[in-house]
Structure 1
Amino acid sequence: MTDTSIAEACRAVLLAAKPRDKVRAARETARAWRRGRLAHAFDVPMPDRPARPERPELLPASQMPKRGKGGSERGRVAMLHALAHIEFGAIDLAFDIVGRFGAAFPRDFVDDWIGVGADEAMHFALLDRRLKVLGASYGSMPAHDGLWEAAEATAKDALARLAVVPMVLEARGLDVTPATVERFRAAGDERSAAILLRIYTDEIRHVGAGTKWFEEGCESQGFAIVPHWQRLVRTHFRGVLKPPFNDSARGQAGLSRDFYSALAVKGYV
């Protein structure tokens, strides 16, 4: 017998401010869902914004200090901090998509995105631990709030959320991570490189979940998949789609060039 809903549990993740509390809430929610201890019910709203710790200081992206390419130890620490912040925000994005939009999809949608959320919590914990080994900590450098800005822009449309967050923002990670891994290896930082490679492998699956549910949502609502994705990206994504694209990893995730090449050709780069 369950007395707590998946929506309540997701809301609790979003309202946990301290990193250790958010990671713990994410893991406990994923475990409870897998064990059948949470009702498949969407009876509470998601907050407009997730809770955040006092640090890091959040700056507009245009005001963020340059962090270099990762050759020096200082540059590598800055890169790891930036990635930790992305993963911290990704925890909220995964649980928000469940609590906000789960009622519109089959139960398998919750299975997939709760799994993504558990992955993101693990990714953050790995990066946070690595930062501490290197004499730093999450929150010791400024960060920006671009991920949640994308969430706010897509808060009323599940297909827009899927189009922008996993299929644009997370797909961008597939494009840039292999070169970052090689820079860390060239600097002799094999441990950090291994963490980034683990994250990269998981993110292929996350982009795949976004693509799968976007396609299923379009089919159920009668939208032509690729044109609707392009329309949503033009409408809701404030950035640009930058080549080069990692076509191989994107293809593994089901995100074919049909989606993004036309935007690049027409000047959205």
Structure 2
Amino acid sequence: MEIRAFAERVLLSDSLSEKLIPIETPITDHEPGKPFDVDEPTRPANLQFAPKRTAPAMPKFAGLVDPARRALAHHIMANHELQALEVMAWTLLRFPEADPEFRQGLVTVMADEQRHTRMHAERAAKLGLEFGDLPVNCYIWKKARSFQSVMDYLAGLPLVFEGANLDHSIEFANAFEAAGDKRSAALMRVIHNDEIEHVRFGLEWLRRLKPEHASDWETWNAHLHWPLRPEKAYGDLFQEEARKAAGMTDEFIALLRKQAADSK
């Protein structure tokens, strides 16, 4: 299967099940095609982006003792994962001239995003809420629309959104555990481990593509578009060891910690 055909299926299908079909092997990239852009991904009717401030907010951790609130949390996170998958497909189509090795690596990450979407949707359903029964937001997608290059993508999605999820995944794992939901907690820990590899992928490519003498921190900041900024790249439960495992230097982590302290 061609990478472009896979990306088009993910981005342009109006069927959730089609979006989540794994790429057929062998994966080829003989015809990356011309740059292609869309304002929004094509989605089924029940997963269309809702007007601003009409989708339900993430429930507070204390409320997760209620199975309905846990279902809502998984519903929201399924949409986060689906948006990330769609942004990755858009990146493949928007920047077909990108390094073929980057494109192959991104497809591998997309397979995880497909799996994460299914995991959250299935868990929400087990808790009584079908994915698409509630309105969903477009926050990640809208922020990605400002990406003007692969470097912007690397700075924004892997190093901000997935970087922050190094913390959020553990925060939710702990909260689900406290609510007595070991299955949901285990799901979040699986996602946490995958996010380490996704952040590593983003960081490795940022280093490969950045100017020779530029630092990771300088390059990252240079490619962030407001409102994405360093303080969006972490949560309350800062996971230093996960960031080290993802390849962040002590200096980069120290600057992130300083940013976190200064923003309080």
- Partner amino acid, structure 1, of 2:18: D
Q: Distance in 2 between matches of 1:239 and 1:145?
A: 21
1:203 corresponds to: 195
CA RMSD of aligned residues (A): 2.6
1:31 corresponds to: 24
Q: Distance in 2 between matches of 1:239 and 1:54?
A: 35
- Partner amino acid, structure 2, of 1:48: D
SS in 2 for 1:104: coil
The within-5 A match list for 1:1-20 is 5-20=2-17
Q: Distance in 2 between matches of 1:240 and 1:63?
A: 24
2:109 corresponds to: 116
2:82 corresponds to: 88
Going by fraction, where is helix more abundant, 1 or 2? 1
Provide the identity percentage.
Answer: 24
Q: Structure 1 unaligned runs (5+)?
A: none
The 1:254–1:44 alpha-carbon spacing in structure 2 relative to 1, beyond 3 Å, is same
Which residue, out of 157, 160, 164, partners 2:156?
A: 164
SS in 1 for 2:132: coil
TM-score, normalised by the number of residues in structure 1: 0.84
1:41 aligns with 2:38: no
Aligned length: 257
What's the CA shift string for 1:117-151, capped at 9, x where partnerless? 11110111111112222111111222221110121
SS in 2 for 1:41: coil
Structure 1 contact 7–98 (Cα < 8 Å) conserved = yes
Q: Distance in 1 between matches of 2:136 and 2:70?
A: 15
Q: What's the CA shift for 1:267?
A: 4.8
Q: Distance in 2 between matches of 1:13 and 1:51?
A: 9
Q: What's the CA shift for 1:263?
A: 7.0
The 1:45–1:63 alpha-carbon spacing in structure 2 relative to 1, beyond 3 Å, is closer
- Partner amino acid, structure 2, of 1:226: W
What's the CA shift string for 1:69-111, capped at 9, x where partnerless? 1232122111111111111111112222223234232x22122
Q: Distance in 1 between matches of 2:42 and 2:158?
A: 22
- Partner amino acid, structure 2, of 1:14: L
The 1:223–1:42 alpha-carbon spacing in structure 2 relative to 1, beyond 3 Å, is farther
